[in-house]
Structure 1
Amino acid sequence: MVRERRDPEQRPSPEALLEAARREESASGKLKIFVGAAPGVGKTYEMLQSAHAKRKAGIDVVVGFVETHGRAETEALVRGLDVVPRKRLDYRGQIVEEMDLDAVIARRPQIALVDELAHTNAAGSRHPKRYLDVEELLSHGIDVYTAVNIQHIESLNDVVAQITHVRVRETVPDSVFDRADAIELIDLTPDDLIQRLKEGKVYVPKQAERALEHYFSPGNLTALRELALRRTAERVDEQLLNHMQANAIAGPWAAGERILVCVSEDPRAAGLVRYTKRLADRLHAPFTAVSIETRRSLQLSDEERDRLADTLRLAESLGGEALTIPAVGRRIADDVVNFAQGNNVTQIVIGKSTRSRWFEMTRGSVVHDLVRRAGNITVHVIAGDELPGEAAPKTAVQTAARSEPFNPLPYLKALGIVLIGLGAAELIQPRFGIENVDLVLLTAVVAVAVRYGLWPSLLATVAASLSYNFFFLPPIYTFTITDPTNVAAFVLFMVVAMIVSNVAARVRTQADAAIGRIRMNEQLYAFSRKLAGTATLDDVLWATAYQIALMLKVRVVLLLPEEGLLTVKSGYPPEDELDQADLAAANWAWSNDRSAGRGSDTLPGAKRLFLPMRTGRGPIGVIGIDNDRTGPLLTPDQRRLLDALVDQGALAIERVLLVEDMDRVKRTVESERLRSALLTSISHDLKTPLASVLGAASTMRDLAGALSDTEKRDLLATVIDESERLNRFIANLLDMTKLESGAIVPNTALHDLSEIVGSALRRAVKILTAHKVELVLAADLPMLQLDAVLFEQVLFNLLDNAAKYSPPDTTIAIRSRRESDHVVLQVADEGDGIPPDEVESVFDKFYRVQKGDHVRPGTGLGLAISRGFVEAMRGTISAANRSDRSGAILTIRLPVPAQPHALDTAA
């Protein structure tokens, strides 16, 4: 019998345990999503069948909302379940049905069926989207079964549009999909789905014909099916990994391949990453490059640190994940295996060691340890001759000796600390005895290890051991030891001192590394906060250049592409242009997406080092840095910090560019909408009256002798009415142009509001002939500071609008009253009112309320002009529906001038 071997030190992941505890303690319901590649695969049918099975098991199931689309088999399944009546809403004059959320919550079933997760609710519903209704049901402890097609997942929206050439407007955030407790994929082959479509089981015949020609082509369905399979597999794989981490299960469970490649500063590590990439492509598996950060990592030369950083960046550029993990175990192999088991890695790639046999016998072999510890994980050991690269790296001692000159000061200070400890031991020995002397000397060794590291602490160990022998072990003042017991004490002291110094030095190394990471994180956080407060591209570029220059003590220049050429956009200190060498390096870095210039392998003669600024969409610019120091431009730690700062700066630049692109697209769309609306208005409101005038005039010319006087008067009236209509149209266009150019300046004076209202009514008498007018003006209205001509035009436009949008024989009411320091004037009609979601749009240029397929005649400029005129006179205008939903109300609020009576008397 073979049993699974579990490491006794294996512990569940804290994050996975917290997530599991949160789910268990949460009172929310469980969410199950039935996913399909396209409409018609049978998601709703399968959901209903599952509901019937649950009901037979004694579970309370209700239908919150299920759309049958007229399919007989689906309707039959719905009839066998309890159905919560739908909520009826009046939307744009039509009755629409939505799920009655409150009724489902009040019913409190164990499971609620809610179809079409991505559906957009009608105006007047509590939530704009149905998935928000589902979240509220879950928060009340109700389990929910729902269905969605893969094209509605937000992150796949662009991919689906590229495949099908159809942009899906209704989407569901990925977070909703990811929080599901269960995912069931309803899979159907493209041929079977097309057959269902032809049989009329998905759409009615005419719709089915169009669908087969476009969306439901075999190629589209195959691609959508692959998307559904992959997205569901990713979610299941994530659930498996969470389960393993929460239960401390040592992987791998080979449900899917995952590859881990171990990298170091070795020149052949880049070839190892490329080998892993080829292996991952063959297995269709993700891969991760991992570097274990040990004490030796701090002894690497600048060249080796740069090489390691380049190797990790190479892994990311090839589509992998790159991680640096601090060593926590006694052996590197333990850290690698623990990481692999915790992340369900199935295969590990590592390079074959080039160290001598003696070195491996005395210091151990990572490769051999890894093979022994890997368990069920496959280990690929790649020989050096399979990987192109340079010669094998030198040892850490050789590296340290080569990269930095010998500094004797730490060693001298270590001997000084031992002398201090020796003096303290001499003082306490007469009182406390020799038994406590060794503790004092050990304390000195630990102090040296913590302060100065491993090698000075080893010197301190030797010095303390010899001092302990010379000054305290009899016979004293000689290195001879006569008592065998003292020999054992001396040897034990030296061994303990060496162990303690080694451990203390390791702790100091780890502490230094942790402090370095903390400082780097603090700098990145401060940098991100600076960028978050910027809104324009110039501000982001300046903040990026200034902060990087400040943090790294370098000069910075930023270049972005402009009309195909790299152009200097910002810098600190300010820089306008580059010399030819720097410009060539910048262009090479931009074109090849790799660093170039000073300190690199490409164009090293340039004054600056240039790095591409890249995001998920590719390179967006180039950053160049330089300083006045000789030697390396940056230390490895500074280079890592620079890479992180450049990445954050690139994301901030991309954010601003995306916002600018969206604004540009928005302006283009708005301009196109206005152009289309203007052409529509001109084609209707200019052409119609001209046609009427021409028709009447032609009739009078051709039939002048046959027309009676009454007919002639009617034709002349038509000419006059249509000419006035045409004149109003042109006047509106001119007024709108003057408003936008700022050419209209109100000529205000004190006026009686009732006189202006009367003048507007007399002018509008023709357009109000089919309506009743109710006029109610308060008696205590003060004189108002108005431009009488402009305000009369405002009232005329409001009356014209009310007449257009209300049926004949209805009442148009004009009412006014005083409210504190304002006068309120309202024009109310008895029409269909304004759609609730379009109330704010009625004052937009060329806007006209649409009812069904019918659009009212007019330019759509009257209310926009009215708002401009009223605001020019320091007033406000707003629109709303009447409380009884029997029409619209347009309200003007005008300020009461200060001390109007005094002003009137003075006049």
Structure 2
Amino acid sequence: PGSRNAKRWQDVEELLAAGIDVVSTVNIQHLESLGDVVESITGVRQRETVPDEVVRRADQIELVDMSPQALRRRMAHGNIYRPDKVDAALSNYFRPGNLTALRELALLWVADRADEYLTEYRSRHRVAAIWGSRERIVVGLTGGPEGRTLIRRATRLAEKGAGGEVMAVYVTRSDGLTAVAPEELAAQRTLAEELGGTFHQVVGDDIPTALLDFARGANATQIVLGVSRRRAWQYVFGPGVGATVARESGTDIDVHLITHDAMGKGRGLPAARGARLGRSRVLAGWLTGVLGPALLTLLLTGAAPPVGLANDMLLYLALTVAAALVGGLLPALASAAVGSLLLNWYFTPPARALTVADPENMVAIAIFVGVAVAVASVVDLAARRAHQAARLRVESEILSFLAGNVLRGETSLEALLERVRATFAQESVALLERETETAPWTSAGSVGPRPEGPPEPGDVDVPAGENLLLSLRGRVLPAADRRVLAAFAAQAAVALDQQRLREEAGRARRMAEGGRIRTALLAAVSHDLRTPLAGIKAAVSSLRSEDVEWSEQDRAELLRSVEEGADRLDQLVGNLLDISRLRTGTVTPLPRETDLDEVVPMALVGVPGDGVDLDIPETLPMVHVDRGLLERAVANVVENAVKYSPPGSPVLVSASALGDRVELRVVDRGPGVPDEAKDRIFEPFQRYGDAPAGAGVGLGLAVARGFTEAVGGTLRAEDTPGGGLTMVLALPTARPAPPRPPEPRDTVPG
């Protein structure tokens, strides 16, 4: 009290800004970042918290530590609380378990801050050596099945010392290409985070160097690697990642090689080099590689004069390149073989023989074959890389689409499943779920025709989460497509969660709306129903009283008061029933051709004659509405306008035709409504501003809009020029009946 700031830490900030040193204390439970943790431990939500950044900016932090037993003794001796509060505090907040947990939080928080100081010091003084102040263990992941074993083993190593930290690291090549399964890597990341570690992905073409650079940068003391999965013969080409890291780590980083089930079994088949060529392209390549040289030979043998052996070789080489571009490597090799034989047979002396008289020609043919094979290999590799790049581009577009949907929140499960169906050319796609591993599958969403009977896994199934399965029916997909399909499966699980969250939020909104309506209804019952009932009760009691002699004029006045109260009750109960019917959807309109000149006067029954001016043209077209519902809507709108109109200012009710609609306008000169409240006044139990006496509970306009929309019209609010509010009912006109054909008439032959 008396401070100009709401929080004490804001006072500290001002003192520091003025150059004044501040010495203060803070309890661990008051740090803002630990609020949820402290609440889960003690069951008490701290109302006053201090931002962690304020405490972290302190030049010096000293931990005042005390055992839970010593703190409870101080509490029992009355050194902290008054004696009358000691027993309650010791049995609730200051229980030994709570104090032990809070003490551990304080120790860890201060240790983390000390580690920040150490990191800043090492960076400022450019210290490259490893300082083993606490165990930091780097786990090298390859994306293989041994990764989970390595993470668990590293966690056990870290738990042997206080404050141990595990950092799982996966090295990605700089070209972005990877052959690991993304779902396995994601599972390993989840496991590392669940065990209290962190996951890092670094880029580097040399895996040992990248791991060591990361470890030294993180001040790691140990590196955990799995024994290589390479087979024995592969060690001829190098010692492997583990041996290289152990050799280059030096004396400040320990390297652990962990055995596992997958060691020495190889890495499996390499990733597909590119997209598979279609059957038509392969056939065209073989035709180019086999028939092309024969046709070229016919052209060259008939050419006069001959073009020369060098030009002949270049032409055959061009055919080899064409075969590689069209059909791949094998048709190109066939073209090179056929071309070399034809060159030898027709164009090198002696002609029409496979022998070569001139050694230079033999060398030329050998060079031709070598160049043709090399060019074919390069062209085939380039074509496959182009196919692979095109595939990766499509995959990146798909993944970008999925990421964009996540960021924008535009995730519709049906639209996502339809995208999967179109992308992979499947007959049907479904997201299946089950409660337990032994329970039957149920469909959470599907597109396309599904077989009869209970849902079952299809031709291609990809796990989308715990007890979730993305099931595809149609063609079987190649392994290369499953990586993108796994991303779709993960997004489908997110879409399902978001859909259910939206449904739950909708139910919560409806419950809140129902609660608000019930509250307003109770208010109506307590006031708007009680007021006319009290008036009726007072008038009837007065009439029945034998102590007073009432004149005829007084009796008539009391009876009129009873009638007015009964009318108000009848109107209020009618509106409550109407809004209930609208809410439950039990309003069934019976539209027919209706003349507004007949409906509006009936709606104004009960309104004083000098309170409303009518302007309904006789030439107005008929409207296609339910007459009873429209009459109730107009009556409520006019009644509301009359209530808010100043004395001596009648309400104007006019109508005009506008295209295929008829607009009925109810114009008043009352206080009006701001633009931001024009939609809100149509909600139940809404009254804007100072409502006049007897204005009711705010149901009239809600009922009017509901009935208007039920008959196919709209109701909106506009400003009245010069002040006031205008209600516009737009109603559909009746369609003119089609002309009937002329009746046949008897004709007299003549």
CA distance 1:609–1:865, change in 2 (3 Å): closer
The 3-state SS of whatever aligns with 1:849 is: coil
Q: Tell whether the 8 Å contact from 2:229 to 2:263 is kept in structure 1 after alignment.
A: no
CA distance 1:355–1:828, change in 2 (3 Å): closer
Matches within 5 A, 1:164-563: 185-187=53-55, 261-263=140-142, 268-272=146-150, 274=152, 287-290=168-171, 292=173, 308=181, 311-318=184-191, 319=193, 332-333=205-206, 337=210, 350-353=225-228, 359-360=234-235, 363-365=237-239, 367=241, 371=245, 382-383=256-257, 385-393=258-266, 507=382, 510-521=385-396, 539-540=414-415, 543=418, 546-547=421-422, 550-551=425-426, 558-561=431-434
The aligned amino acid for 1:834 is: V
The aligned amino acid for 2:667 is: V
Q: In the alignment, which residue of structure 2 is the partner of 1:862?
A: 700
Q: Tell whether the 8 Å contact from 1:798 to 1:827 is kept in structure 2 after alignment.
A: no
Q: Tell whether the 8 Å contact from 2:246 to 2:255 is kept in structure 1 after alignment.
A: no
User: Do structure 1's residue 825 and structure 2's residue 701 form an aligned pair?
Assistant: no
- 1:416 and 1:165 mapped to 2: Cα distance? 84
- 2:175 and 2:250 mapped to 1: Cα distance? 26
Q: Equivalent of 2:450, from 555, 558, 574? A: 574
1:737-784 superposed Cα distances (whole Å, 9 cap, x missing partner): 566533454783463799568745338x9xxxxxxx5x5555967567
Q: In the alignment, which residue of structure 1 is the partner of 2:586?
A: 741
Q: In the alignment, which residue of structure 2 is the partner of 1:622?
A: 469
Q: Tell whether the 8 Å contact from 2:183 to 2:486 is kept in structure 1 after alignment.
A: no
TM-score, length of structure 1 as denominator length = 0.49
Q: Equivalent of 1:689, from 510, 516, 532? A: 532
- 1:847 and 1:725 mapped to 2: Cα distance? 18
Q: Tell whether the 8 Å contact from 2:141 to 2:225 is kept in structure 1 after alignment.
A: yes
Q: Tell whether the 8 Å contact from 1:346 to 1:378 is kept in structure 2 after alignment.
A: no
CA distance 1:374–1:861, change in 2 (3 Å): farther
The 3-state SS of whatever aligns with 1:682 is: helix
1:405-424 superposed Cα distances (whole Å, 9 cap, x missing partner): xxxx9xx999989999x999
Q: In the alignment, which residue of structure 1 is the partner of 2:68?
A: none
CA RMSD between the two structures: 7.2
Percent identity for Structure 1 against Structure 2: 23
The aligned amino acid for 2:149 is: G
Q: Equivalent of 1:613, from 444, 453, 464? A: 464
Q: How far 1:840 moved relative to its partner?
A: 0.9
Q: Tell whether the 8 Å contact from 1:610 to 1:624 is kept in structure 2 after alignment.
A: yes
- 1:382 and 1:457 mapped to 2: Cα distance? 49
Matches within 5 A, 1:668-817: 668-701=511-544, 703-709=545-551, 712-736=555-579, 740-743=585-588, 745=590, 748-749=594-595, 751=597, 759-762=605-608, 773=611, 782=619, 785=622, 794=633, 796-802=635-641, 804-805=643-644, 810-816=647-653
Q: Equivalent of 2:686, from 847, 853, 863? A: 847
1:322-380 superposed Cα distances (whole Å, 9 cap, x missing partner): 9898xxx9xx4179749988x9888786545465898555x334528975999999987
- 2:242 and 2:335 mapped to 1: Cα distance? 32
The 3-state SS of whatever aligns with 2:463 is: strand
Matches within 5 A, 1:146-161: none
CA distance 1:491–1:778, change in 2 (3 Å): closer
The 3-state SS of whatever aligns with 2:531 is: helix
CA distance 1:744–1:497, change in 2 (3 Å): closer
Q: Tell whether the 8 Å contact from 1:542 to 1:570 is kept in structure 2 after alignment.
A: yes
1:664-691 superposed Cα distances (whole Å, 9 cap, x missing partner): 3333333333333333323333233223
The 3-state SS of whatever aligns with 2:547 is: helix
CA distance 1:667–1:258, change in 2 (3 Å): farther
Which consecutive unaligned segments of at least 5 residues does structure 2 have? 20-30, 62-92, 120-127, 274-282, 737-750
Q: Tell whether the 8 Å contact from 1:252 to 1:344 is kept in structure 2 after alignment.
A: no
**Count of residues in correspondence between the two structures:** 611
The 3-state SS of whatever aligns with 1:574 is: coil
- 2:356 and 2:727 mapped to 1: Cα distance? 109
Q: How far 1:724 moved relative to its partner?
A: 1.8
- 1:253 and 1:508 mapped to 2: Cα distance? 48
CA distance 1:516–1:609, change in 2 (3 Å): closer
The aligned amino acid for 2:727 is: L
- 1:674 and 1:323 mapped to 2: Cα distance? 54
The 3-state SS of whatever aligns with 2:682 is: coil
Q: In the alignment, which residue of structure 2 is the partner of 1:203?
A: none
The aligned amino acid for 1:836 is: D
Q: How far 1:725 moved relative to its partner?
A: 1.3
Q: How far 1:863 moved relative to its partner?
A: 1.7
The 3-state SS of whatever aligns with 1:706 is: coil
The 3-state SS of whatever aligns with 1:559 is: strand
- 2:641 and 2:534 mapped to 1: Cα distance? 26
The aligned amino acid for 1:271 is: T
Which consecutive unaligned segments of at least 5 residues does structure 1 have? 1-37, 54-148, 169-182, 193-213, 238-250, 298-304, 401-408, 587-606, 766-772, 900-907
Q: How far 1:801 moved relative to its partner?
A: 2.6
The aligned amino acid for 2:586 is: S
- 1:277 and 1:43 mapped to 2: Cα distance? 41
The 3-state SS of whatever aligns with 1:698 is: helix
- 1:396 and 1:898 mapped to 2: Cα distance? 72
Q: How far 1:546 moved relative to its partner?
A: 4.4
1:64-110 superposed Cα distances (whole Å, 9 cap, x missing partner): xxxxxxxxxxxxxxxxxxxxxxxxxxxxxxxxxxxxxxxxxxxxxxx
Q: Tell whether the 8 Å contact from 1:752 to 1:783 is kept in structure 2 after alignment.
A: no
- 2:621 and 2:268 mapped to 1: Cα distance? 92
CA distance 1:344–1:675, change in 2 (3 Å): farther
Q: How far 1:728 moved relative to its partner?
A: 1.7
Q: How far 1:844 moved relative to its partner?
A: 2.5
Q: In the alignment, which residue of structure 1 is the partner of 2:276?
A: none
- 2:210 and 2:518 mapped to 1: Cα distance? 65
CA distance 1:696–1:292, change in 2 (3 Å): same
- 2:54 and 2:226 mapped to 1: Cα distance? 44
The 3-state SS of whatever aligns with 2:510 is: helix
The aligned amino acid for 1:830 is: G
The aligned amino acid for 1:623 is: L
The aligned amino acid for 1:517 is: L
| Structure of greater Rg | 2
